[in-house]
Structure formats: C-alpha cells, structure tokens
Structure 1
Amino acid sequence: MKNKIPQLTTSNTMLATVVTFLLLATIITMGMLTPLIAKLTTGVELSLEASYFNNRTAIPVAVLMLLLSTCMLVGYAERRYILPIVGASSLVSVIFAVVSPFGNTPIDISLPILTVTLLATLYRIFGIYMKSRSMDTRTKIRKLSAHVIHIGIILILLGIVLSSNMKVESSAVLGTNEMTAFEGQHYQLIVNSMNSYYSGEAFRTYPGSSYTTEVIFDIYKDGNYFKSGKVEYITDFKWGQTYTTTFINRGLTEELFIAPRAISESDGEIDLYMRTVPFINCLWGGMYLMVIGIIALLFTDRRSEQITGSGSGPKNAGPSGNNNAVSSGVDERYDRMLEQEIKKRRDKRTKDRR
C-alpha cells in the first residue's frame, strides 16, 4: 500500500525522539549546574525547587510520550490512523486542562497522553507476540524486553505525576489514649504510651549520652483498626542534636508516612506529621520493570553474541579453498543479477522509444 504520509517513518520518529531527549537533558543539566555556577561566580547559595524542573520539563516529556506512541504504532497500524490517534490524545489533554475533571492541572494534562502511550505500547507488544509465534524463545524475549522497559518508563512517569500531585500532608497534636483525626486524611491515630529512657554511656551530668522518647500508637483507617506503629524522638547530648525515627507503611495503592515533629513530656503530648502518597507503587513497579527489561535485553544480546561467535569459528569456516569457492559463487550470483537488471532497463528504454 502506498504511504500517504511519507515523512512518518520509524527513522524520522526516532530522530525527533533523540532531539527532544537531548533538549530535555540540556534543561536538566542547566538546572543542576546553575547553583554551582552561582556559587563559584557570586558566592551566593542558590537552591532550585522541584517546581523549577517540573515547569521546564513538562512540555519535552509530553512530546517524548507522544513520539513514543507514534513509534509504537508505526509499522503495526495503518499510517493514516496514527496521527489522528496521537493528535486526539493531545486534544483530550487540552480539553482536560480546561474542564479539569480531576481538579489538578498536571494530572489533567498528563493522564490522557500517558494512557494512550501505555495502550500503544501494549498494542505493540501484542503485535510482536502474534507475529513471533514461529520464533524461538530467545528472539521473542529480545524483541519484547525493550518494550518492557518502555512500560517501566511510563509507569515511573505515572507514579511521579500522580503521587506528587495527589499526596496529602497534615499534622496534629496528640495526647495519650485519645483518637485524633488528621485534616484531609482517612487515617486516625491513638497514642497508647510514651516511654522515655537514657541510653549509651554517661555523658557529663547525664546518665546516658542520649535521651529517647518512644511513642507507640495504633492506626485506624476510616474508623477501623489498621495497624500499630512506633516512632522515637531522640536527643543526643554528646553531639548536640535531635533526630527522630519514622513509621512507613507501603501498601498496594498508597504509602503512609508518620514522623514526630515535637514532643512535650510534661503535657503528655506529641506533634505528629502524617503524609499519604497514593500511586507511589507505580513508580517502584516501573523501576522493577525497567531493571527486568534491561537484564533480559543484555542476557539475550550476550547469548546472541556467543552463538554468533561459536558459529564463526574454524570448524564452520572450513578450508580456505571452500571459502574461496563460496565467495566466488556469491560473486557470480550478484553478477548475474546485475546483468538481468541492466537487460530489463535496456528493454524498457527500447520499448519507450518505440
């Protein structure tokens, strides 16, 4: 079938992807070097927040995802359908940015693009699987492993976008044996006990080098018991600093983080910080898939090199006379093909003149 969009080829799409990736890498590198340059030239301590990078890398990342969708569809779907599909995802993102169905602009813009990219990658994997039934297992794994890496990248981006924009942070002061709710959270806490003790060797007038307050609590989710936890508030006299331990629960759909901010033993109260991060497992799952895909790709490439190397040894090469005979046979075949092609062109030219 004639290509109605001749510019829409795999090589052109890959070229656009590389250019966009270089632009993204340049933006990130400049952001990382800016504080160092400012320190060396002016002596000013400069710190760039995450919003600096998010605002500047959002468009290149979106373009990369659109190009990835295009790469996944080129060769496995009709070209006349590719641009409408990719364009439709961009249009939906613009509409979502205006309508805001999720109430969060970064999620509204990125979710349609990432969803289409994920579906396009799964479609490519399905196409490879259907076409490679006659292939051996090693070749099939080699073809699929690269797309497993792509799925990992998409899940990482989904995890970053969703978790960073949907996380809920709050704090509350808790007394002993009373249930306290945190604003915006569906978790409640009851402090069961606060036990303090000295530890380490004696230091100056203190019986120990550090003073620890251990806080044990029960966590309730939507009014139902969920889990028990413990945090510690530690004052180190020897080093003159205070630090804390934290409680982290990584669930299937979200991560719960609890840390003490301040404590008052005289009042029997503790100020706790709580953070709930949904969809953080998309990020971890994407990382695991990337590692699996990279290992599978390296393993199959190594096996391919070993097989190729073993097949090109002296045993398969044969005597030099046989090699020369094979080489001359190949040359003769190409000479015959060239003569046939020249004869066809001459006949066609003669026919056109008549």
Structure 2
Amino acid sequence: MTQPSRRGTAPVAAEAPAPAGPSPRLTLTRLRVFLAVVDTGAIPAAARSLHVTEMSVRNNLHELESSVGSRPLLAKSAAGLVPTGHGERVAAVARMMLAHATELSSPERLRPVVAFAAGQARWVVDALRESGGLEEVELRVLTEADAGPDTSDGPLTAQSSGQSSGQLTGQLLSGTIDLLVTPMPQAAGQETPVRVDELYRSQLLALVEARRQSVPLEELRSGRVLTVRSAWATSMLQAAARVEGIGALAVDTASPDPYALVVLAEAGMGTAVLPADIAALVADGPVTRSWAPVLHRGTVLETPVCLLTRRDVSRRVERVRTSLRLAAAARRGARPAAVGAAASASPP
C-alpha cells in the first residue's frame, strides 16, 4: 500500500509495523541481578555479591520489571525482599536461561552432569553402563552439604521423612547439575520447572540374627540402632516410633561407613539399619545375620528414589533421562543378593 503523492513528489511506501519480539531491556545481566536479589533478600547484599552499586541493581530491576509484564517482581517481608508470584515464575525461567547460556559458553559442560547420593552410586553406574551412556555423562557424588541437614523432628509425613532437597533442586534449576537421583518422598508440584520420575523404592532393612521375613519397629526400641547419616532414614525411623508411641529410638549415626556398622552389629554393639540401596553395597558383609525390612504398623518403611530434571532440557539430557527410566523399569523388582525374600521391592 502506498500513500498518495503531494505536489508531484514520488509516492512513499508505508512503513510496516515492527515485528513483536523480546524487549531489548530483557538481558542476561538483568536476570542475574534479579536472581541475586532473590537469593540474598536485599538490594545492598545483591550489590555486594555482584560488585556493583545499589543504584545499578535498582535500575536493572526497574528495566527488567518493565520488560516482563510491568508487574511487581519483589515484595517486602519481615525476612527482606521476596519474589511475588509473578517474580517466582520469572525467577524459575531466568535460572533455566542462565543455565543454558552457561552450557553454550562452556564446551566442557556439554556432557550432562548426573548427581546422586552414595547409596545410589551402584544403581546409577550400572544403569548407564548397560545403556552405553556412561561415557557421555559427568558423574557427581553428592555430599552432606548438598543434601541439607539431617532432621528427625515432626510427624510422619512425606515431607518430614524425606531428604531435604531444596538445595539440590536449586542446583538443578541453576544448571549446576542436569539430572538428580535422590530419595524424594514428596514429588515436586506441577507448577515448578522440575520433572520427577520415580525409579524405584528403597526400603529400610535391619540386620538381624536369624533369617526372617521382617522386623517390627518395636523390636528396635530396646537397643541401639546403627545407621548412616541419611536424613530420610533417620527421620523416618524416629517419626514412625513416635506414631507407634514407643518413644525416641537410640539412633547412632556416628559412623559414616556402612561396612563398619555391619562389623559393629556382628559384634553385638547394636542393630544395623540401612536403606536397601546402601545395604546392597555391603551385601557380602553379613556372616551370621541377614537383612530384613523394618515394619511400621504392618507396612514396610520405604521411600521412592526419584530422578529429577528440568522440564526444558536438551536432547542429550533427555536421552540420559530415558536410559535411566528404562533401566529402572527393566530392573524393578530385583533385590540385593543378601537381602531377605520380603525385600523384593528394594532397588536392584
């Protein structure tokens, strides 16, 4: 379409409207500034962590807010600045965008990072080796600092009996890790960018003198319970004991070595109680005793071991996720060599 000419001038073509697209004010720098405020809860603290002025932080927040809907991203609270509902959604997307940017700028990070606790090491490595994907990933064993503190207070609920996974989920969303294998009784909500697949269920097993099908929790009240420092295992035992009204159990988590716990149990120093995937690592240890699942009101104490990934992942990460899920489906129902028949639902 052309505009009519005036006074003999040549017709001028009308300008087409500019195509819609991302705002030029939406930059990775502004996303980093916003996340720094979210993580620190204060503009001065965010400015110090980024080595910029407070005015720079405020300006970047203002520009970002204008470019993502002109709605407040942060609100004041007693604890400092916290993200609004809109801010939480922007923060989740921002973490994924920054993670992808880091991956593109770091060739060595093209291999997906698979993180797992020591108890899941054998399962993860075997599953990746059988699928042919072991050389395509970077393996990382989680530490206690990654998993969060060991807690044993509160009622027997999915949330209280599970491993504290807030720090781990944060590492997943930030791109520090790509796939996370961890005990996680409480699944993440659909509104989060985290996808959860249950791989198998890990039971709590007790090392007892005679080959038995199970061990009632009440039998553990009269002696010392020897176990590794595992948030979900310890808290689940204590919470179940409170529900049954038998009081707090004498749980000793001083030794991080499951082999040492087996030796102590064999020497009569207490009863070793371990998650089934850790018991599988020391399956050759027991000589005069055998493993049996711990029962709470007729039900085996157990927790699902899940695979967590971001919802928006690369094809390479998706291939690893598929390999682990297929391995879990194929081997579900297998059991550690030295575990009693009643533990058939424990991990391979």
| TM-score normalized with structure 2 length | 0.24
Task: Output the TM-score relative to the length of structure 1.
Answer: 0.24
Q: Which has the larger radius of gyration?
A: 1
Which structure is higher in RCO with an 8 Å CA cutoff and minimum separation 6? Answer: 2
